[in-house]
Structure formats: structure tokens, C-alpha cells
Structure 1
Amino acid sequence: MATIALMVTASSAAVAHPQHGLASLRQATAKYHSIAVAEQSKYALLTDTQGIACIDMPGMGGMGIHWANSSLVGDPAIVANRPEALVYAPAHDGTLRLAAVEYVVIKSAWDATHTAPPRLFGHTFNLTTEPNRFGLPAFYSLHVWVWKHNPAGTFEMWNPRVTCPPGR
């Protein structure tokens, strides 16, 4: 019961005060600048069905490389300070830097108890239908660029400042 109250409080605070919510999100995810710490927290490299790790869209920009926590993706709850995925952007020297987080919820699980798509920080999640490049059922997602500036917008899927090197 305390967990449910905490989730509602975190989500309500994030909607009522988006900037406060983003500051809290930065604080909660700062430790994940280390991929080793992310992996200790059960985040793992996510590739698409073709084995591609770095996700980009010519003409739009990129997302980068995702580390996802499958148990969080499988859970229909959305918790502001516990994103389902961490997104790392490749730097010019080849290192990966935490750039964004992504919230993901399977559409059928969400729709079973809700009449509208999820919202967080005042933004409605995007819908990715199936089939999709990840081989997942249809899902809702929201990127939040809390660690790398996105000139397209903090909550946009693609960041024109993120590029994927060939072969990643």
C-alpha cells in the first residue's frame, strides 16, 4: 500500500511541477552515468531484432543506445524516478554518455486499466505499434532528455545532436 501511495505522489508531483519532477529525475538517475551501476541495477543492453544497438533516424536525429530493465518494462506502473530504460549517446571519442531516460509501458497492460494513453511531466506518451523494430507488442513510450540538450525539445523522441557511428 505504501508503494502505491509513493507512485501516485511521485507522478502527481511530476505533473503539477514538471521542472521539480525533472530535477528529481536527474537526482534519481545521476548514478547511471556509470553503465556498470546501471547493469548492477538490472538494466541491460537492448538491441533491435537485427542486432542494432544505436537507434537513429536519418533526417531526424538519434536516440542512442538503450539499456532497459525488462522487469520494469513488464510492469504496467509508471514511476517518475524509475524509468524503464536509460539512453546513452555515443560521444566523438566512442564513449557512451547518459543522455536521456525512457518510460515504456506495454499498450495492452496500460489500456486494461486506463482509458487514455499515459502522461508524465505534462506530456502524453508516444505509441509504437506492432510490428516494430524491437519485436515487442505495441507500447507507449516517453523520452526525457534530462542529461543532453535536445534542440527539438526535452520530450521529443529524436535528438538531432545524437548520431550513431556506422556499425553500432
Structure 2
Amino acid sequence: MKLVIGSDHGAYELKEELKTWLGEHEYAFEDVGTHNGERCDYPLVAQSVAEKIQRGEADRGILLCGTGIGISIAANKFDGIRAALAHDHYTARMSREHNDANVLAMGGRVLGPEVAKDVLETWLSTEFGGERHQRRLDQIQSFEAPKTPQTVGS
């Protein structure tokens, strides 16, 4: 599994901790930034991660900002992206099992590094449950599909 990870300044330190954990567990990943603790805009980081997934350059993404809220909202604007904000073992597991989340969002100012590592490990090891959940994912994906314009009189 190829991962892509990115953060803004509010979660830079947590990102560095998670990169070390990923390396220790032999996950392949690309870091799209930020590469220092200087202020930056989280929507652009979300865009980088989302577009890599859309192009098939990564299977899943990890996004971090101060709370995880803004960066998950930004990522979910991209077709095919299902970014889930997780803050514990249960939400991480459900985001994969029920929602097939392909992006994990967490907050660097909300979670300590050990909890974040547990969330990440759970998220990476949980498979999508399929079956009844697929119908709902198909409904969500239909919202992304281009709409055919209706003509007068049809």
C-alpha cells in the first residue's frame, strides 16, 4: 500500500512522529509537506494529497492540521475522496469498515502522538466491510457524477 501524508503547521510535529512510525512499520509513503513548522494553508496540502490519490499515485492519504476538521473538509471537495476525521480506535475502525475512507484526518492540537499512532495503526489495518455499506458508498459517489443538463420539453 502506497501512502501520501501531509500537514499544515498546526500538525507538523505530529506528522514527523507519524512518519517515523510509518518507516518503522515499513510503509511506503510520500510526504507532500509542510516540511517545516512555518505557517501554511491546509487547503493546499489537502489538494496535494487528494490529487495524488485521484491520479493513482497513492492508495490512501493521511492529513493533519490543528484539529483535523478543516483539512478533512477541504479533502472531501475532491471527487473520489472519502476523508474521515478520527480521534480514537473506534472512529478509525468505523471510517474504514463502514465508509471505506481513503484519507485519514487527525488533529495535531487534539491528539497526542501515542493516540495518533493507535488511530493510524487501526485505520491502516482495517478492511472495508463491503456488502450493505457499498450501497451507501455508491449513493455518495453518485453525488459526484456529472449531471446531464435537462432541456426544455424533455
What is the TM-score with the length of structure 1 in the denominator?
Answer: 0.27
Bigger fraction of residues in strand: 1
Could you state the TM-score of these two structures normalised by the residue count of structure 2? 0.28
